Structures are given as structure tokens and as C-alpha cells.
A and B are shown apart, each in its own frame.
Chain A
């Protein structure tokens, strides 16, 4: 595993000098079946340096569909992906943190994988769409997360109306039921801009303070950020980019245009993440 690391930029960062944690990032690897995998990883670092990302909190989703489906990865592919992620953390330890990916349909393998990767530095858990978010199969994973103080980033399709191919979709209401069963665990609700109707999500989770949505996703609807702030407040939101870093930068600029105060902006940029991840996870943020 090699990681192409561009030279540090001489230009000022586009999103300012304050700490910035990308709570929803991904990397890929040689086993994912695409020749440009290293370019994609390098592009994330390039854009992260340009934006001013202090830490990429990232996961690898198995083989990204190459030898098992992205959202239903086989246990072996889960391990391969996590091994790739561990290698990236080893090489880029000053700016990358790991979420360990698991498939909850394989309970014992999933629990063992969490322990293996957390012992090597992973700071949270990534759940895809292999099982609906309120399924009892997720309980052992959430219990382990509670014991270890790990937040869980759960893939979400905002407002689940019907089944779609390739993933067992979950929405805010599904995640709320899991969060209610595990009130001491922090859940990151994935990408309010990542598809579906975010206006359904906000009331679905408002009464569950252990759910923090991240702002990532390609969706940049005007009004989305305003509604998120109005419904949940800045203490419940995490900045992230997922697969589109330009929309992440646009959302930071939009939050600035909204007129968010310095403290509220810092909460979204990094303080909320520092609060829910294990203490000391982000030393370059002063954590």
C-alpha cells in the first residue's frame, strides 16, 4: 500500500485556519478494481490541504463492489478494506483517523474486527446498509461501541419510502430507534446531502440528542443548512464531505454566508467531532 502525498500547499487554505475535521471521508485501495485508486486517494489529500482539512475521519467500504457489493461486503472484503485503511493511517497518521467498517450480518466477525482495528487505532465504527438500522443485529455492535466509547457512523437514505437496489436503506426514524436503545452511544447520521428528503430526517431525530447528522453528500439544496440549524442547532451537526469535497467547501462558505457565529462554526467544523470521538483523537485540534 502506498499513498501519494502531494507537496504541502503554499497558498492559504480556502476554508480558513481554524481546525476542520471531515467526519465522513473515504479512501480506496488496490483491491477495489480500479486502476486510478491511488489518484483518488491523492485527490482527497490534495483537496483536503487546499480546503484546510485537519483530519480525515475515513473508512474503506470493503472492495467498493469489486468482489462483493459495496453495501453488502463479505467478511473477507471487510477485512481487506480495513487493512487498507489501517495502512493509510500508518502512513498518514498526522491527518487520517479510521472508522472500522463491519457487516452486522456476521456478528462474531464484526465484533472481532472492531476489536482488532480499535486496538490498532480506529476511533469509531462505520455501518453501511447491510442491515436496516433498527435491526436487533446491530445491538451487539452498539453495545461494544458503548463499552469502548466509539461513535457509529451509519449510512442513511433520508426518508425511506421504498426499497432500492444495492442497499438496505435506513432513514432517520430507523436510526432513532437504534439510538433510543443505546442512549450512551453517539450515532453519526450520514450525509444529509447524500440523497433522500432531509426535511424528514430533522424531526425524526430531533428528540434523540445522541444522533448527530453530518453535512456531507453531493446534495446542496438551498435551505437544507438553514433547516438543519433551525431544527437541531449547531451543537448537533458535523462537517463532512463524503465523495464530493467541493460540496463540503460550498457548505462551509454557505454557513459563513448565513452568518453563523465563531463558536457555532467551530462546533460544526471540529468541536462536536472532538466531543463524541475518544478523547485525544485529534491532537492537532488541541483535543
Chain B
């Protein structure tokens, strides 16, 4: 079963995004042979309080429950965030999203560690987004900056229960995090491939060889990016890596050991 770990619904505040609705996502998944998607609510990343966005997300995805799994946003510096974690678990969310740069929570913030542990102890992953857009095209009001490698390392070290899925990272950040962790900490971190370069630089091939394919998951970053990109990157892997298997949802949720 192919899961897309990096999808969103809803509009983006800094540019027009065509048709970010769940029924369109399902049609795209049919076309691209994607079975299931973990889906967040894009505007919630920019809300001060994402609660209303989460309610919209649950409602919007309900008709597509067999394909689209809700990933609500929870900010751990907001009152009663623990209640939101319970709601997410009750709703069958496989993960929750957090946006530390957008919410002003820097690397080393203990509240983010508390959130990572809390969702992990309930059997959910924490999804972190490195970026929504290329740095060079951002709106002048979009000043949050990228998620840092230090922030990811901090959370990966927070405890055994932690499961992180880091979205939209490139080779440099992945390597900086991975090789800055112990093997036990590395096993808590998964990376989606939506922003990793293929040939001729072959960053994806290099990472699959060095970091290990079991640390990577499929992700498209729909509706912001073309859904075709990660499959194209896999199709263009060198012959010795053709058909390589990435981690799936079960691997993420139970944690998969580092093989290297």
C-alpha cells in the first residue's frame, strides 16, 4: 500500500493554489496510484489557534475516511493542547502536525518535546514541515524561515516514544540531523522524499545508500507541488536502486530500526 505522508487541504495565504479540496486530492491519488494520504489543513499552519482548522479538517475528510487520514495541527504552547491530542487520537489520526517556526517556537523549546512525547505515547507520529515554498519566492510577510536541523535533533532526542516524520527536507538538513543522532535516535525519524533532488546530483540515491531506504517515506507536498515529482525521482534512481522499498505507515508508527 502506498501512503502519501505529505498532503494538505485548504488555501495557502501567500499564493493561489488550484483546487486544494479533498475530492480533488482523491482523484489525484487515483491517477497517481496512491492508496492513502495523511492530510493536514494548510491554513492552520498560519492560524494563531489551529483548533477551528482542525474541526474543518475532520469534517472535510469524513466522506473520504477510507483514503484520507486526518493529521490535525496542535501547538503545545496553547491552553488545553493535551485535550487536542486526545481528540486527534479518538479521531483515528495517525499523526499530528506542528509548525514551530510559524508559531515562534525555537529549537530546544521544551513544549515541543512534550508534544512529541505525548503524541508518541498515544501511538501517533509528529509531522514537521521544513518549508512550504522555496526560500527565493516567498512573500515579504512570510518571514518564519525554515525549520532547522537543530529543532529536529532536539525532538529526536526527547524520548523513546517519539516518532517524527519530517516533510520537505533536502539532503543537507537530512544528513545534518541523521549523523548528529545516535542509532536509537535515528530510528525515531523518517523523511519524506518530496523535496530531495534526483539526477544528475542524485541526492536521493546517495541518501538511500547512506542513510538507508527504511528512513524514507513517500510524499508529494500536494497541493503546493506537482504530485508527479517523487515518483519521477524514484523512476530515475540508478538501476541498482530501482524498485527499492520505502517505509510505510506501519513502519513509521511502530518505529523501524536503523539498518546501518
Contact = CB atoms under 8 A, between A and B. Distances in A.
Nearest to B170: A218
Nearest to A27: B200
Interface residues of A, number: 38
A197 B137 contact: yes
Contacts of A246: 197-199, 204, 229, 232-233, 235-236
Per CB-CB distance, the 4 closest pairs between chain A and chain B, nearest first, are: A246-B198, A195-B136, A47-B199, A250-B228
B137 A222 contact: no
A50 B17 contact: no
A253 B228 contact: yes
B183 interface: no
Nearest to B197: A244
Contacts of A257: 31, 228
Given A46-B199, A222-B225, A196 B235 contact: no
26 contacts: A39-B202, A43-B200, A43-B202, A44-B199, A50-B235, A50-B236, A51-B236, A158-B137, A164-B136, A198-B137, A219-B137, A220-B225, A221-B226, A222-B17, A222-B18, A223-B17, A243-B200, A246-B197, A246-B198, A246-B229, A246-B233, A246-B236, A247-B229, A249-B228, A249-B235, A253-B232
Interface residues of B, number: 31
Given A44-B200, A254-B226, A249 B232 contact: yes
Contact of B137 (A44, A196, A254): A196
Interface string A49-78: 011000000000000000000000000000
Given A199-B15, A223-B18, A250 B238 contact: no
Secondary structure at chain B's binding surface: helix, strand, loop or mixed?
loop
B236 A245 contact: yes
Given A222-B18, A250-B232, 19 more contacts: A40-B202, A44-B199, A46-B238, A50-B235, A50-B236, A51-B236, A158-B137, A198-B137, A221-B15, A221-B226, A222-B17, A245-B198, A245-B199, A246-B229, A246-B236, A247-B198, A251-B226, A251-B228, A257-B228
A219 B132 CA distance: 12
A250 B221 CA distance: 13
B218 interface: no
A246 to B, nearest CB: 3
A222 B198 contact: no
